[in-house]
């Protein structure tokens, strides 16, 4: 497994064309501990490529054992020669989807660290994880982007996310850990069937044993087919978007009504993808809405009685031949405390960078986005303003942000002299 991993990892490193500084998301579980040892062996080998890897352990503070396990995982990692940090989450827990909350907390911490250190991210997702993820998305009715699953390499605003174990099955990882006598910790939540992913895992195991022996392989094959389809259509997709939409730095989007209707008549799936991506960006969501909900919205757009609808925290309306997508003024994380020269995610929409400590507060509608009566978004200026944060310094001073747009695959320019900036995470253009 080591030689195959080294060859594969070398290929991935060549493809990212970036520095070899990495953050490793280390949970202490079997997958991440196996990955830690594989990277250690890779580092020690006499190769032309060498990487600088810092494991980060996220203590979600959800179980009594989590603090002990985090400390023990840190000891193991440091004994292997890695400088390792523990990040403990102390924020209040939600009443609802605890795993989704934990995932978002974990993601934000890891991305923040990557941005601070100009590093890329390594995660331990494997072949079976891919099948579980795709199966969950099929059940939820995800659109084409969701059904493409995870890739070996993806990009998130200048950060490469690498999953070098994605081609390895869980059984292979277990055999490797057993043969190398690698220590790891079992999270009991992984067998608690009140969680969605655990339920999905049980369903897949049942289908594999009783009905569909090759379901894991077939789901991964299906994922690869969809990924290849997206790659082949990206040029046309981006060309159409560049010609027919306007994205405002404050997070709103305008679409030409007639052009979208023409696309809808030619390719319904294409229209679903366009609208889904727009709502994902404007609403600050990790994924586009379910295919059925997006479809219903599109059908209603082209009826005579359409006035206004909401989907994914986004208000959708038609005005003077254009469709406007505006973030709803609710469920906004105002009050978020930030430290100077750290990166934060606000509302899933903005990457926040400030040279001054303070907290994010609601604006007072005094022309923050500088929208005049010739601007495409003039009618919605106040609505946009209400969803954009100011910075309130420790001294009580209120500062307006500088607004920018960054695309999913663009490298973030952090050499700006602005003291407080918001970078819109544009997930529309790929």
At residue 2, the pLDDT reads 62
Residues 259, 260, 264, 269: what is their CA dihedral angle, to the nearest 10 degrees? 130
Query: Does 137 map to a domain?
Result: no
> Which DSSP category does 166 fall into?
T
pLDDT band at 367 (very low <50, low <70, confident <90, very high): low
Rounded CA gap, 16 and 311, in Å?
Answer: 35
Count of domains observed in the chain: 3
User: Does residue 73 sit within a domain?
Assistant: yes
255 touches 262 (CB < 8 A) = no
Tell whether pTM > 0.75.
yes
Residue 105 sits in a domain whose CATH number is 3.40.50.620
* 95 and 177 assigned to the same domain: yes
The CATH number of the domain holding residue 264 is 1.20.59
Give yes or no for residue 169 having a pLDDT over 90: yes
Bridge partners for 317 per DSSP:
308, 324
In this structure, the answer to whether residues 393 and 265 fall within a common structural domain is no
Task: Give 53's strand partners.
Answer: 22
Q: Report how far residue 52's alpha carbon sits from residue 22's, in angstroms, rounded to the nearest whole number.
A: 6
- Give 42 or 48, the one with higher predicted confidence: 42
Q: For residue 276, what are the β-bridge partners?
A: none
pLDDT value of position 258: 96
Within a domain: 385: yes
Residue range 287-302, pLDDT digits in tens: 899 999 999 999 999 9
Record the tokens describing residue 419, joined without a space: 């003291």
Which candidate, 181, 21, 195, places its Cα nearest to that of 113?
A: 21
**Which H helix or E strand runs over 98?**
helix 98-117
65 touches 216 (CB < 8 A): no
Whether residue 144 is contained in a domain is answered as no
Structure tokens at 40: 């250690």
Res 44: pLDDT = 47
On whether residue 194 sits in a domain, the answer given is yes
- As a whole number, mean pLDDT of residues 183-187 equals 89
Range of the domain at 256: 223-327
């Amino acid at each position: 497994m080591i030689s195959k991993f080294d060859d594969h990892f070398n290929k991935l490193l060549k493809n990212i064309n970036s520095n070899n500084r990495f953050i490793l998301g280390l949970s202490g579980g079997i997958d991440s501990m196996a990955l830690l040892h594989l990277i250690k062996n890779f580092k020690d080998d006499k190769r032309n490529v060498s990487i600088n890897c810092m494991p980060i352990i996220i203590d979600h503070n959800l179980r009594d054992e989590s603090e002990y396990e985090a400390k023990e995982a840190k000891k193991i990692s440091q004994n292997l020669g890695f400088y390792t940090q523990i990040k403990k989450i102390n924020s209040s827990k939600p009443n609802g989807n605890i795993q989704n909350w934990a995932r978002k907390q974990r993601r934000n911490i890891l991305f923040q660290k990557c941005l601070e250190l100009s590093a890329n991210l390594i995660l331990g997702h494997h072949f079976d994880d891919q099948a579980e993820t795709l199966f969950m998305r099929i059940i939820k009715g995800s659109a084409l982007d969701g059904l493409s699953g995870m890739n070996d390499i993806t990009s998130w605003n200048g950060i490469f996310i690498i999953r070098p174990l994605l081609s390895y099955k869980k059984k292979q990882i277990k055999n490797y850990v057993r043969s190398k006598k690698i220590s790891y910790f079992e999270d009991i939540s992984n067998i608690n069937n009140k969680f969605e992913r655990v339920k999905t895992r049980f369903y897949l195991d049942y289908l594999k044993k009783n009905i569909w022996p090759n379901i894991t392989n077939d789901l991964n094959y299906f994922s690869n087919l969809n990924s290849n389809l997206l790659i082949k259509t990206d040029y046309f997709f981006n060309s159409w978007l560049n010609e027919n939409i306007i994205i405002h730095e404050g997070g709103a989007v305008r679409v030409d009504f007639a052009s979208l209707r023409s696309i809808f008549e030619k390719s319904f799936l294409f229209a679903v993808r366009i609208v889904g991506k727009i709502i994902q960006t404007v609403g600050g969501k990790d994924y586009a809405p379910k295919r059925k909900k997006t479809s219903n919205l599109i059908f209603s757009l082209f009826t005579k009685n359409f006035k206004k609808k909401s989907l994914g925290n986004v208000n959708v309306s038609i005005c003077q031949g254009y469709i406007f997508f505006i973030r709803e003024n609710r469920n906004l994380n105002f009050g978020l405390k930030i430290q100077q020269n750290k990166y934060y995610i606000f509302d899933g929409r903005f990457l926040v960078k400030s040279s001054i400590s303070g907290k994010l507060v609601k604006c007072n509608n005094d022309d923050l986005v500088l929208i005049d009566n010739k601007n495409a978004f003039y009618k919605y200026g106040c609505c946009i303003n209400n969803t954009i944060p100011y910075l309130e310094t420790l001294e009580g001073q209120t500062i307006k942000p500088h607004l920018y747009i960054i695309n999913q695959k663009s490298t973030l320019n952090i050499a700006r002299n602005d003291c407080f900036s918001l970078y819109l995470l544009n997930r529309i253009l790929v």
